[in-house]
Amino acid sequence: MSVAKNQWGWGLRRSMMDYNHWSGFGLLGEILPWKDNTVEVADGQEGRPEARDRYGLPVASVKFDPHDNDKKLIECGKNKTMEIMWAAGDRGGAGAAVCSPSGRSADE
Amino acid sequence: MPEAKRWPDMKRQPVTDPMTGRPIERDQPGYYQGFSTLDQQAFWDEATRKLVLDRMSKPQPIRFFTPEKATTMAAVVDRILPQEDRSPSRRIALLPVLDDRLFLNRIDGYRYEDMPSDQEAYRIAAKAFAQMAQAVHGKPFYELATMEQERLLQSVPSEKPASAEDLWSRMNVQRFWSLLVGDCCSAYYAHLWAWDEVGSRTGWRTRPGRWASI
């Protein structure tokens, strides 16, 4: 919600006071397994980057970019979600946001 | 350089009711006067109770930020989540929580390629906020009026920073802003007093014997 409405300051404090009146709608969409989207272990071997967490374990190096079909899917999902919420009586008090892999997510 | 002020010693004029002239501070803002999450603690398992009550204990000392950066960031987080509607003794300490996470390197476990580490991002930002205040107003950030601080802050996510462009260009400012607001929210809304404020019935789901996530 803070993502959707770009809220901070008093606006955010006031929105959060309405927390008990929020409903959430989550939609899980499938993105196609594009070859150039990869998850690798960042152990520094074979040309992979190296990055470790505080336990010394290598973290995941993720390469992800949404392709055209993914963007269409996300847009369709977002619109369908808003349609459903509107039909259920939600008049968009807290705002709509897209739950997308390339950014933070928020519920409405 | 003046001695850096420590949270919560930052003095500000209390916000007053224009009709009565009295401060509008309350022990518990929100719509749920008299509601206390702690009333439900009989239903909590021991681990939950300890986790929740630990957040009420004395804030950690500042170990990541330098005194100068801490003073700037204390003023910044006070604008991100203002608490003038709370009585001074009932304000939730935000900077110590953020500082603790950065000091202990409690990170998300991933990083976007256009961002430096969380620690580096906050170092850059603290410097940039201070620089903006000096460039635009000739004063340290914490000495500015509320509206002046808010205007400087607003200029960051709108991608037209009032100054210090060279510092802000070292990271994705939208991601940083999201990180900053997110960290402040996590610190604030994890606290019992904030749960009381929003009337959150967090406690009721956790019964002894059931695994609970908070």
Per-residue pLDDT reduced to its tens digit, A30-42: 888 999 999 999 8
Is A9 close to B82, i.e. CB distance below 8 A? Answer: yes
Is A3 close to B79, i.e. CB distance below 8 A? Answer: no
To the nearest whole number, what is the mean pLDDT of chain A?
80
Instruction: Please report the pLDDT score of residue A100 as a whole number.
Output: 44
User: What confidence tens digit (pLDDT) does each residue in B128-151 have?
Assistant: 999 999 999 999 999 999 999 999
- CA-CA-CA-CA torsion sign (B165, B168, B169, B170): positive
Is B182 close to A13, i.e. CB distance below 8 A? Answer: no
For chain A, say whether B182 makes contact (Cβ under 8 Å). Answer: yes
User: What confidence tens digit (pLDDT) does each residue in A55-102 have?
Assistant: 899 988 888 889 999 999 999 998 998 899 889 887 765 555 544 443
Is A3 close to B111, i.e. CB distance below 8 A? Answer: no
Mean pLDDT of B99-104: 96
Of B63, B74, B95, give the one whose Cα is nearest residue B142: B74
For chain A, say whether B105 makes contact (Cβ under 8 Å). Answer: yes
- Record the pTM: 0.82
Share of chain B above pLDDT 70, in %: 87
The alpha carbon of residue B85 is apart from the nearest alpha carbon of chain A, in Å, by 10
Distance CA A77, CA A25 (A): 11
Instruction: Please report the pLDDT score of residue B4 as a whole number.
Output: 45
Instruction: Please report the pLDDT score of residue B207 as a whole number.
Output: 45
Of A101, A89, A106, give the one whose Cα is nearest residue A24: A106
Is B110 close to A9, i.e. CB distance below 8 A? Answer: no
Contacts of A37 in chain B (CB under 8 A): none
Work out the pLDDT band at B107, boundaries 50, 70, 90: confident
Contacts of B107 in chain A (CB under 8 A): 53
The alpha carbon of residue B211 is apart from the nearest alpha carbon of chain A, in Å, by 23
CB < 8 Å from A in window 12-31 of B: 29-31
Is B198 close to A17, i.e. CB distance below 8 A? Answer: yes
CB < 8 Å from A in window 192-211 of B: 194, 197-200
Mean pLDDT of B62-75: 97
Is A19 close to B80, i.e. CB distance below 8 A? Answer: no
Mean pLDDT of B10-25: 75
The alpha carbon of residue A19 is apart from the nearest alpha carbon of chain B, in Å, by 6
User: What confidence tens digit (pLDDT) does each residue in A2-18 have?
Assistant: 555 678 999 999 989 98
ipTM for the predicted complex comes to 0.82
Distance CA B122, CA B65 (A): 9
DSSP tag of A40: E
Work out the pLDDT band at A106, boundaries 50, 70, 90: very low
Q: Could you give the C-alpha distances from B14 to B23, B81, B174, B197, in angstroms and in order?
A: 6, 16, 32, 20
Q: Are B176 and B164 in contact (CB under 8 A)?
A: no
Is B29 close to A60, i.e. CB distance below 8 A? Answer: no
Work out the pLDDT band at B201, boundaries 50, 70, 90: low
Element (H, E) at A39: strand A38-41
For chain A, say whether B189 makes contact (Cβ under 8 Å). Answer: yes
